[in-house]
């Protein structure tokens, strides 16, 4: 449903803050994202955007195989991290999860378990459409996985 005129073009990325950028990159690479690049973001301009003042942040930009969606993973060097929402329950306010569509849910889970992933609840079948689950990934980040089952 479209309402009114919009200048919105697309969603560029979702950002996640971690302690270990290397571990997160390995995990999301195993999931199937590609590392698009790594960079240090620092300087007065960056602090003006975030409202944090002087900051120094190492980022990794991951991209889905189709090239349409990105995950920006950040590790703050300065200022230090002040809150931790990684292990919040599924019904906590704020960020919930990032959902990825996969071709083979069981195979994907087997690979991610080797990198510390833990199933939150169970793998469930939703009608004749999807097999779904939530996992905790690196540092407790909540990730949804969905395998389309309709017409298969």
Interval 52-106: pLDDT, tens = 888 999 999 999 999 999 999 999 999 988 888 877 888 887 777 899 999 999 9
Q: Are residues 96 and 152 in the same domain?
A: yes
Q: Are residues 48 and 109 in the same domain?
A: no
Confidence of residue 151 (pLDDT cuts 50, 70, 90): low
Residues in the chain: 152
Residue 2 has pLDDT above 60, yes or no: no
- Which of these three, 48, 63, 81, is where a domain ends? 81
In a domain, 2, yes or no: no
The CA-atom distances, in angstroms, between 38 and each of 11, 46, 50, 59 are 20, 16, 19, 6
Tokens describing residue 54: 């002087």
Q: Cα–chain-centroid distance for residue 140?
A: 11
The model carries a pTM of: 0.87
Q: Are residues 136 and 71 in the same domain?
A: no
Confidence of residue 4 (pLDDT cuts 50, 70, 90): low
| CA max distance for the chain | 53
Residue 152 has pLDDT above 60, yes or no: no
List, for residues 9-50, the tens digit of each pLDDT value: 888 899 999 999 999 999 999 999 999 999 999 988 888 888
In a domain, 112, yes or no: yes
* Structural domain boundaries enclosing 134: 83-152
Output the domain CATH number for residue 35. 3.10.180.10
The CA-atom distances, in angstroms, between 77 and each of 25, 35, 43, 85, 104 are 17, 21, 13, 18, 37
Tokens describing residue 34: 């590609």
* Nearest alpha-carbon partner for 102 in 77, 66, 73: 66
**Number of domain units in the chain:** 2
């Amino acid at each position: 449903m479209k309402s009114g005129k919009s200048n919105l073009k697309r969603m560029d990325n979702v950002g996640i803050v971690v302690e270990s950028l290397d571990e997160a990159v390995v995990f999301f690479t195993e999931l199937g994202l590609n590392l698009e690049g790594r960079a240090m973001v620092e300087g007065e301009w960056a602090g003006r955007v975030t409202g944090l003042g002087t900051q120094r942040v190492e980022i990794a930009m991951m991209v889905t195989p189709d090239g349409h969606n990105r995950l920006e993973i950040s590790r703050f060097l300065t200022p230090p991290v002040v809150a931790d929402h990684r292990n919040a329950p599924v019904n906590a306010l704020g960020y919930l999860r990032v959902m990825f569509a996969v071709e083979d849910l069981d195979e994907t889970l087997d690979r991610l378990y080797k990198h510390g992933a833990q199933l939150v609840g169970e793998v469930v079948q939703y009608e004749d459409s999807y097999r779904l689950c939530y996992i905790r990934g690196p540092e407790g980040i909540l990730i949804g996985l969905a395998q389309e089952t309709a017409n298969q």
